[in-house]
Amino acid sequence: MQIDLTEEQRQVRDLCREFAEAELRPNARRWDVEHTFPRDAVRKLADMGLLGVAVPSEWGGAGMDAVTYAVAMEEISRGCAGTGVIMSVNNSLYCDPVLKYGTEEQKRELLAPFARGEKLGAFALTEPMSGSDAAEMRTVAVARGDEYVLDGTKNFITNGPQADAILVFAVTDRAKAHRGITAFLVPTDVAGFSRGKPDEKVGIRASGSCSIFFEGCALPKRLRLGQEGEGFKIAMSTLDGGRIGIAAQALGIARAAYEEAVAYAKERHSFGKKIAEHQAIQFMLADMATELEAARLLVWRAAAMKDRGGRHTAESAMAKLYASEMAERVTSKAIQIHGGYGYVKEYDVERHWRDSRITEIYEGTSEIQRLVISASVLKD
Ligand code: CAA
Ligand code: FAD
DSSP string computed for 243-282: HHHHHHHHHHHHHHHHHHHHHHHHH-EETTEEGGGSHHHH
Q: How does pLDDT run across 201-241, given as a tens digit for each residue?
A: 999 999 999 999 999 999 999 999 999 999 999 999 999 99
Q: How does pLDDT run across 153-204, given as a tens digit for each residue?
A: 999 999 999 999 999 999 999 999 999 999 999 999 999 999 999 999 999 9
pLDDT at 274 (0 to 100): 98
Q: How does pLDDT run across 265-299, given as a tens digit for each residue?
A: 999 999 999 999 999 999 999 999 999 999 999 99
Q: How far is the CA of 365 from the centre of ligand 2 (A)?
A: 6
Considering just the CA atoms, what is the radius of gyration of the chain in Å?
Answer: 21
DSSP state of 174: G
Q: Which residues contact 108 (CB under 8 A, 6 or more apart)?
A: none
Q: State if residue 85 touches ligand 1 by the CB under 6 angstroms criterion.
A: yes
Ligand 2 pocket: which of 92, 125, 126, 360 to mutate (most atoms <8 Å of CB)? 126
Q: Which residues contact 11 (CB under 8 A, 6 or more apart)?
A: none
Q: Which residues contact 294 (CB under 8 A, 6 or more apart)?
A: 322, 326
Q: How far is the CA of 236 from the centre of ligand 2 (A)?
A: 14
Q: State if residue 363 touches ligand 1 by the CB under 6 angstroms criterion.
A: yes
Range list of H helices, the chain = 7-19, 25-34, 39-47, 66-79, 81-88, 96-101, 104-110, 112-115, 231-267, 279-308, 313-338, 349-357, 366-379
Give the pocket of ligand 2 (CB within 6 Å): 89, 122-126, 131-132, 156-158, 201, 209, 358, 361-365, 367-368, 371
pLDDT at 363 (0 to 100): 98
pLDDT above 70 for 1 = no
136 alpha carbon, closest ligand: 1
316 alpha carbon, closest ligand: 1
pTM comes to 0.98
d(CA 164, CA 118): 10
Q: Which residues contact 165 (CB under 8 A, 6 or more apart)?
A: 94, 110, 114, 119, 121, 122, 185, 186, 187, 188
Active site (annotated) includes residue 277: no
pLDDT above 80 for 380 = no
Q: Which residues contact 245 (CB under 8 A, 6 or more apart)?
A: 69, 70, 73, 87, 88, 91, 92
Amino acid at 33: V
Q: Which residues contact 71 (CB under 8 A, 6 or more apart)?
A: 5, 9, 12, 13, 16, 248
| Percent of the chain whose predicted confidence (pLDDT) is above 70 | 99
Q: State if residue 89 touches ligand 1 by the CB under 6 angstroms criterion.
A: yes
At 3, is the pLDDT very low, low, confident or very high (cuts 50, 70, 90)? Answer: confident
pLDDT above 80 for 18 = yes
Q: Which residues contact 82 (CB under 8 A, 6 or more apart)?
A: 28, 31, 32, 38, 203, 204, 205, 206, 207, 355
Q: Looking at the chain, how many residues does it have?
A: 380
Q: How far is the CA of 238 from the centre of ligand 1 (A)?
A: 9
The residues facing 219 across adjacent strands are 148
Q: Quote the crossing angle between the two packed helices 349-357 and 25-34, to the nearest 10°.
A: 70
pLDDT at 2 (0 to 100): 66
Q: Which atom, in ligand 2's list, is nearest to the CA of 130?
A: 52
317 alpha carbon, closest ligand: 1
Alpha-carbon distances, residue 44 vs 41, 135, 360 (angstroms): 5, 37, 28
Q: What is the DSSP string of 25-40?
A: HHHHHHHHHHT---HH
Instruction: From the candidates 23, 127, 260, 363, give the one annotated as an active-site residue.
Output: 363
d(CA 106, CA 311): 25
Nearest CA to ligand 1 atom 31: 133
Q: How does pLDDT run across 83-140, given as a tens digit for each residue?
A: 999 999 999 999 999 999 999 999 999 999 999 999 999 999 999 999 999 999 999 9
